[in-house]
């Protein structure tokens, strides 16, 4: 699938509100992934790094590419429950503003930030990445870490991020490319799991940022490096099924398992992972 196929899918059939509801529901199971709603990074096939450490490693890789200095202002677009924001605030000494479209995540993220003792350094807001309530050039840098694949209109997200980042600031995002053919049923499954418009290749993945005015300075194709995530996640889900059922009820947990298992099996086989580093020209 390439750019033409992406353009054929109208953005209007896929709403941000539905994405918010999806993450409200998924949020209940966030403990499975230690609060990290993103993939992990493994060096090679012999790398046995434990699941949560591999996830934090990917956060750090993203953070290093943002070229942050202590005291700077970082925008986290699609911040989940603020686990990456907490990691980045601690490691780089930056002030983070996180936005999410899920009300449940705002509450959970705000709680996590307070628990971490970082309420002065991290603020969380309910906002849509397509129309953000921030002044132009408000931030030194921005990231959209595994949130970009959920965007109904990726160009619009990039336009908004370009507006709110200062000249010379960085923007790092990830996207999930689909380079092989997918059946209509598989596409529907991706869409139901908020991945509505996977790019066909790196050129398609960088196009929305370039169209918004960013210069792409680095692209990484990490498909093979993140692939163990899917197996590890499903293993953990199996091991913790009964504990989760005690907390959330069997019906809800079984529905989650029934939805996420074929999705992640498909992702493991057919979905890739790109990390894209951009700079707003001076």
Ligand X SMILES: C[S@@+](CC[C@H](N)C(=O)[O-])C[C@H]1O[C@@H](n2cnc3c(N)ncnc32)[C@H](O)[C@@H]1O
Q: What residues make contact with ligand X under the rule CB under 6 A?
A: 16, 19, 23, 36-38, 78-80, 83-84, 99-102, 105, 128-130, 145-147, 150
CB of 36 to ligand X, least distance (A): 5
Query: Looking up tokens 């990074």, which residue turns up?
Result: 41
Q: Which is nearer to ligand X, 195 or 215 (CB)?
A: 195
Bridge partners, 271 (sequence order): 178
CB of 282 to ligand X, least distance (A): 28
274, two tokens: 């790109």
Using CB atoms within 10 A of its CB, is residue 259 exposed (0-12), middle (13-18) or buried (19+)? middle
How are beta strands 215-221 and 274-279 bridged, if at all?
A: antiparallel
Distance CA 275, CA 162 (A): 17
141, two tokens: 């840098």
CB of 44 to ligand X, least distance (A): 23
User: Virtual CA dihedral for 122, 127, 129, 135, nearest 10 degrees?
Assistant: -70
CB of 136 to ligand X, least distance (A): 19
Q: Which is nearer to ligand X, 38 or 270 (CB)?
A: 38
Question: What does each C-alpha distance from 268 to 93, 166, 178 come to in angstroms?
Answer: 35, 37, 11
In this structure, are residues 86 and 36 in contact, taking their beta carbons and an 8 Å threshold? no
How are beta strands 165-175 and 274-279 bridged, if at all?
A: antiparallel
| Gyration radius of the chain's alpha carbons | 18
The helix or strand, by DSSP H or E, that contains position 99, with its residue range, turns out to be strand 95-100
The helix or strand, by DSSP H or E, that contains position 257, with its residue range, turns out to be helix 250-270
Q: Which is nearer to ligand X, 72 or 102 (CB)?
A: 102
Q: Give residue 195's region: left, alpha or beta (phi > 0; psi -120 to 50).
A: beta
Q: Which is nearer to ligand X, 245 or 259 (CB)?
A: 259
CB of 61 to ligand X, least distance (A): 12
Bridge partners, 142 (sequence order): 75, 171
CB of 101 to ligand X, least distance (A): 4
Q: Which is nearer to ligand X, 36 or 206 (CB)?
A: 36
Query: Looking up tokens 């628990």, which residue turns up?
Result: 115
Q: Which is nearer to ligand X, 150 or 206 (CB)?
A: 150
CB of 250 to ligand X, least distance (A): 25
Q: Which is nearer to ligand X, 189 or 245 (CB)?
A: 189
CB of 172 to ligand X, least distance (A): 11
Q: Which is nearer to ligand X, 129 or 207 (CB)?
A: 129
């Amino acid at each position: 699938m390439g750019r033409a196929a992406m353009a054929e899918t109208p953005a209007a059939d896929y709403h941000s509100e539905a994405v918010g509801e999806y993450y409200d529901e998924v949020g209940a199971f966030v403990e499975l992934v230690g609060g990290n709603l993103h993939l992990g990074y493994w060096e090679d096939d012999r790398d046995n790094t434990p699941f949560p450490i591999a996830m934090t490693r990917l956060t750090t890789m993203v953070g290093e590419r943002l070229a942050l200095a202590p005291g700077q202002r970082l925008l986290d677009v699609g911040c989940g429950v603020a686990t990456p924001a907490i990691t980045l605030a601690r490691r780089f000494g930056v002030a983070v503003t996180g936005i999410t479209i899920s009300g449940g995540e705002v509450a959970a993220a705000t709680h996590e930030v307070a628990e971490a003792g970082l309420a002065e350094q991290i603020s969380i807001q309910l906002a849509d990445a397509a129309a953000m309530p921030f002044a132009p050039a408000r931030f030194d840098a921005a990231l959209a870490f595994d949130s970009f694949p959920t965007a109904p209109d990726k160009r619009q997200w990039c336009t908004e991020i370009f507006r709110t980042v200062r000249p010379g600031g960085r923007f790092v995002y990830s996207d999930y490319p689909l380079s092989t053919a997918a059946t209509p049923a598989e596409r529907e499954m991706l869409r139901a799991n908020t991945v509505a418009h996977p790019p066909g290749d790196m050129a398609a993945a960088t196009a929305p940022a370039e169209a918004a005015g960013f210069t792409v300075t680095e692209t990484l194709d990490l498909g093979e490096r993140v692939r163990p995530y899917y197996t590890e996640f499903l293993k953990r889900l199996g091991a913790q099924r009964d504990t989760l059922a005690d907390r959330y009820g069997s019906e809800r947990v079984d529905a989650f398992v029934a939805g996420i298992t074929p999705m992640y099996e498909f992702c493991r086989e057919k979905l890739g992972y790109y990390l894209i580093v951009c700079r707003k020209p001076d």
